[in-house]
């Protein structure tokens, strides 16, 4: 794949790894992130390798800011061959303690960040008539459900079905643009610290959580610290794009978890808690 890659949530973690892999493949880059300092550092690091890179601080939950990102990409490089809507956040609470602000924040970034990108970029990508690809980062939490993660689960399930719908929309129109959804398991990133970008009054206080939720938060931190490297998730994505695969799974046990859920549904059983 050549041309220009646009990646949101690109300052660190999976997004940065995707940008690095795209640069290795000779692609020009337009990177977006809400953290201006981390984004600036990533842009500088990639430029130092010889890559052509533009960066723009972007709150992907705001349609106008994603429009500005699209304007930058098309004005600077003329077209976009790869769009990766990757930005994501998480908070851990039982569903009955998840506030309207929690829902708005998680859905705003994780879901609207994807739909805003599709609305801003796809019309121009389609109008060009050039081949391309669009991917979004969901999670294994888009295929399974974890306790104390209702908002995150819901947002990532939504991303999976949005991308499935996109695949069908593109296919029935004979478009030259492919689609995929990245559903990683545990990856060594800072997503467990994503509330750092919320205002102080909105941040979840660990001491306010019940013991079960506190245990879940601790388990998430440990699992993330023992996860695969972001570059492994990035390589899995590009391999899937090359092979024209839609569902991009990163862990050997991912399929068994999906199979367990499907079997629960078909057998009319209560949901099994799958350990990722």
How many structural domains does the chain have?
A: 1
66 within domain boundaries: yes
Computed over every residue of the chain, the mean pLDDT equals 94
pLDDT at residue 201 greater than cutoff 70: no
67 within domain boundaries: yes
The answer to whether 12 and 193 are in contact (CB under 8 A) is no
pLDDT at residue 55 greater than cutoff 90: yes
How does pLDDT run across 119-156, given as a tens digit for each residue? 999 999 999 999 999 999 999 999 999 998 999 999 99
275 within domain boundaries: no
95 within domain boundaries: yes
pLDDT at residue 207 greater than cutoff 70: no
Confidence at 18, pLDDT banded by 50, 70, 90: very high
Give just the sign of the alpha carbon dihedral 24, 29, 33, 39. Answer: positive
Token readout for 161 is: 């079905």
Q: What is the CATH number of the domain that holds 80?
A: 3.40.50.720
271 within domain boundaries: no
Mean pLDDT in residue range 98-122? 97
247 annotated active-site: no
User: How many Å apart are CA 166 and CA 161, to the nearest integer?
Assistant: 8
276 within domain boundaries: no
pLDDT at residue 118 greater than cutoff 90: yes
More confident residue, 233 or 212: 233
Annotated catalytic residue: which of 74, 112, 152, 238?
152
202 within domain boundaries: yes
217 within domain boundaries: yes
Q: Smallest Cα–Cα separation from 84: which of 138, 156, 153? A: 138
Token readout for 26 is: 């000779």
pLDDT at residue 206 greater than cutoff 70: no
Token readout for 210 is: 């019940």
Percentage of the residues of the chain whose pLDDT score is greater than 70? 97
Q: What's the domain range around 229?
A: 4-266
Q: What is the CA radius of gyration of the chain?
A: 18
User: How many Å apart are CA 246 and CA 259, to the nearest integer?
Assistant: 17
Q: Smallest Cα–Cα separation from 105: which of 140, 62, 141? A: 62
Q: Smallest Cα–Cα separation from 11: which of 176, 197, 143? A: 197
């Amino acid at each position: 794949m050549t041309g220009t890659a646009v990646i949101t949530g690109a300052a660190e973690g999976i997004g940065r790894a995707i940008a690095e892999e795209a640069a290795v493949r000779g692609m020009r880059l337009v990177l977006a992130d809400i953290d201006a300092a981390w984004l600036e550092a990533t842009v500088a690091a990639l430029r130092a390798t010889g890559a052509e890179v533009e960066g723009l601080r972007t709150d992907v939950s705001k349609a106008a800011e994603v429009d500005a990102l699209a304007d930058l990409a098309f004005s600077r490089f003329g077209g976009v061959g790869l769009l990766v809507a990757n930005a994501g956040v998480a908070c851990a609470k039982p569903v009955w303690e998840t506030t309207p602000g929690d829902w708005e924040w998680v859905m705003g970034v994780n879901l609207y960040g994807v739909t805003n990108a599709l609305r801003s970029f796809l019309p121009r990508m389609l109008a060009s008539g050039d081949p391309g690809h669009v991917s979004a980062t969901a999670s294994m939490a888009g295929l399974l459900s974890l306790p104390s993660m209702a908002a995150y689960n819901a947002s990532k399930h939504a991303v999976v079905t949005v991308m499935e719908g996109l695949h069908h929309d593109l296919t029935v129109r004979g478009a030259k643009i492919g689609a995929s959804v990245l559903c990683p398991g545990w990856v060594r990133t800072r997503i467990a610290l994503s509330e750092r970008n919320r205002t102080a009054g909105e941040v979840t206080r660990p001491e306010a959580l019940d013991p079960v939720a506190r245990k879940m938060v601790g388990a998430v931190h440990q699992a993330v610290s023992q996860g695969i490297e972001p570059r492994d998730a990035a390589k899995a994505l590009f391999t899937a794009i090359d092979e024209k695969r839609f569902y991009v799974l990163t862990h050997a046990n991912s399929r068994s978890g999906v199979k367990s859920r499907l079997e629960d549904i078909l057998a009319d059983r209560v949901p099994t808690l799958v350990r990722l």
